[in-house]
Amino acid sequence: MSSEREPVSHFIRTIVQDDLQSGKHPTITTRFPPEPNGYLHVGHAKSICLNFGLAQDFGGQCNLRFDDTNPEKESEEYALSIQEDVRWLGFQWAGEVHWASDYFETLYGYAVELIRSGKAYVCDLTPDEMRDYRGTLTAPGRNSPYHERSVEENLDLFGRMRKGEFADGSKVLRAKIDMASPNINLRDPAIYRIRRAHHIRTGDQWCIYPMYDYTHCISDALEGITHSLCTLEFEDHRPLYDWVLDNITIPCHPRQIEFSRLELQYTLTSKRKLNQLVTDKLVSGWDDPRLPTITGMRRRGYTSEGIREFARRIGISKSDNVIDMAVLEGCIREDMEARVPRVMAVVQPLKVVLTNFEAGLTQSREAGFHPNHPEFGSRDVPIAREIWIEADDFSETPPPGWQRLTPGGEVRLRYSYVIKCDEVVKDVAGEVVELRCSIDHDTLGKNPQGRKVKGVIHWLSAQHALPAEIRLYDRLFTVAAPDSDKDKDFRDFLNPASLSVVQGWVESCVKDVAPETRYQFERLGYFCADRRDHQPGERLVFNRAVGLKDAWSKPVA
């Protein structure tokens, strides 16, 4: 897969092009503004690729800004993980990391300006009362009893809110817009609330915090953002975004543009629900390879290049963006096909004894790590009297078209000889535990005389292979849309077979590879040395990233 694909045209790209060509903006500035209250997921990856990608393509810049206005749910751990994810995806923000808390004093000053101009007031309604006064989608709201407080009283109360004279939740500062507006977001929304919570950056300096809708647009303007890109759920918030900027003295007015969020089948892109899975210990953590978090996908073995190609391929639009998991896995598979070395591994070992093996006569062969990349080098593939093959590569009663090993049948060992199964050994329960086979010594690197052997299987020398923990991942949920059933909790659809851990064997050449090293295990799929548990030379742990073929069309067993 080429690392430099032609950008896909979409409506936001067209807007940016028109703005630059018309001279509206000499350059563009975008931003990626996550809240540090969890780990990023594949939906965020789409947004990262959009915001950073547009800035790169048009010679502009993209800021990383944390929306840290909700101190009770935010942490330094999340902030650091977000920075690592952005870098791992291949992007770098302009200058220093920005924080909404950088602007707390400025935001407070603009709130005072709104109060002075009669466009904000302090309200004492309880949350339940405020909901009642707000009205419904079909009925207009009513003005708060505190709607007509004087400028002087509002300034006094807001200053005392900041000083901590009132209890949490007892008062809020509201924008004075229109309680009869058909857009509920404009019915005097709260822009400040009292909340005594320790902040990860400002500590206990503040006991009032600005609301997201108020903070975001001003932060954009202060940073000179030209195009503020967000998902469609913020479309109804755009009039409030514009109202705030139109009613304060700020020179920059960014344009908010919305696009559809990503919904990936057989998983979730709700940070709240992902947090539930982690908190309930239904997964091993935010980096569990079954999760669609960026850190989870990375640990599973997905490549950043493949994820970027996925974001490019699914495109940007305002229509529903429900994507089959096969599209993501296809991008990962295509990327690794060209770039990842190949070795052999056995994940369901069946012992084979080569009865006519002769030391000195039976020879090993050298094999390249990739058929199309000789520069990857090669390694010796040793053979011994006892070897491991995949249990699935033997059948006593083979189906039609079977080209692997059967009693009395022949098959070629990859990079080695043709062998024939002469005897099947079973245990007391009747299970096959060993095969006894003979080598055709005239078939090393050439076809047998007078007959054709079609099947080729992978294998390992039992004497030389290394034990490895192999983690086989399947879809996390048994249904495509686990959070769409109104009568069931999404956790009811968890797939109990989403992880299978087996003891397998790998070639000795992978003994000292570093965590996150990827291989194609021939005929099995693409695997990655686990970035947490893999210990080079000591404990080998490989995660299956994707199979060699699309398995998503098959139902969950």
Element (H, E) at 121: strand 120-123
- Within 13 Å, how many C-alpha atoms sit on residue 98's CB side? 25
Q: Which two tokens stand for residue 469?
A: 């923990």
In which region does residue 39 sit, left (phi positive, over 0), alpha (psi from -120 to 50) or beta (all else)? beta
Q: Which two tokens stand for residue 137?
A: 């989608």
Tell me which residue has tokens 């809240």.
35
From the candidates 174, 271, 298, 518, which is the catalytic residue? 271
The amino acid present at 529, given as its one-letter code, is: A
- Strand-pair category, 321-323 with 262-264: parallel
Q: Which two tokens stand for residue 371?
A: 């058929």
Q: Which two tokens stand for residue 309?
A: 């190609």
What totals of helices (H) and strands (E) does the chain contain, helices first? 12, 27
φ/ψ of residue 45, rounded to 5: -60, -40
Cα of 457 vs its chain's centroid, Å: 34
- Strand-pair category, 378-381 with 365-368: antiparallel
Q: Which two tokens stand for residue 518?
A: 């990827």
Q: Which two tokens stand for residue 18?
A: 């028109």
Give the separation between CA 510 and CA 468, rounded to whole angstroms: 10
In terms of Cα–Cα distance, which of 245, 259, 250 is closest to 191? 245
- Strand-pair category, 459-461 with 386-390: antiparallel
Strands of 432-440's sheet in order across: 456-457, 410-413, 418-426, 432-440, 349-354, 386-390, 459-461
In terms of Cα–Cα distance, which of 391, 544, 551, 414 is closest to 468? 544
Q: At what angle do helices 304-314 and 325-339 cross, to 10 degrees?
A: 130
DSSP letter string over 340-408? --EE-EESSEEEEEETT--BTTB--EEEES-TT-GGG-EEEE---SEEEEEGGGB-SSPPTT--SB-TT
Q: Which two tokens stand for residue 235?
A: 């479309």
- Give the three-state DSSP class for 525: strand
261 is catalytic: yes
From the candidates 142, 201, 261, 414, which is the catalytic residue? 261
- DSSP β-bridge partners for residue 542: 470, 529
35 is catalytic: yes
From the candidates 35, 263, 309, 329, which is the catalytic residue? 35
CB 277 within 8 A of CB 287: no
Element (H, E) at 470: strand 466-473
3-state secondary structure 242-298: HHHHHCCCCCCCCEEEEECCEEECCCCCCHHHHHHHHHCCCCCCCCCCCCCEHHHHH
Give the separation between CA 492 and CA 122, rounded to whole angstroms: 44
Catalytic residues: 35, 261, 271
